[in-house]
Structures are given as structure tokens and as C-alpha cells.
Amino acid sequence: MEKLLLTRKEAAQALNISVDTLDMLRNSGKLRAVNIGARVYYSPDELRAFVTKEGPIG
């Protein structure tokens, strides 16, 4: 079964970017995250939609 939510580290690895870049994308509103308590998670569907919409990062 595919994970429903990914940690910041897992999401950054999936996008092949640093956690700092991931945080920058979230803070700029380009990537939505799910907050559960003090933790931040990302939906695999959100990551796929971001890649499709934004194209390659860099």
C-alpha cells in the first residue's frame, strides 16, 4: 500500500531537491502541505500535481 503522507525528508527525496528548497516552495504557496500537530507532511498526489504543473525544478 502506498503511503498516504510523506515526511519532509521523503517528499524532498521524491522531488530530488533539498528539504530547504521544499520548505521554500511550501512557504511561497507553490506546494501545499498537511500539518498534523507540529509535523509537516506532503501528499504524493500533491507532489505529482506540482511536478506536472511546474515542470522541472531549477
pLDDT tens profile 27-47: 999 999 999 999 999 999 999
Kindly state the cell numbers that stand for 51.
511536478
CB atoms within 10 A of CB 38: 5
pTM of the entire predicted model: 0.85
Write the DSSP symbol of residue 22: H
Give Cβ neighbours of residue 16 (< 8 Å, ≥ 6 apart).
none
Q: What residues make up the domain containing 21?
A: 6-54
Q: Which is higher by pLDDT, 36 or 56?
A: 36
**Is position 35 within any domain?**
yes
State the Cα–Cα distance between residues 43 and 58, nearest whole angstrom: 22
**Is position 1 within any domain?**
no
Write down the pLDDT at residue 1. Answer: 84
**Is position 33 within any domain?**
yes
pLDDT digits (tens, 9 = 90+) for 17-26: 999 999 999 9
State the Cα–Cα distance between residues 5 and 33, nearest whole angstrom: 9
State the Cα–Cα distance between residues 13 and 8, nearest whole angstrom: 9
**Is position 19 within any domain?**
yes
Domain count for the chain, please give it: 1
Write down the pLDDT at residue 53. Answer: 85
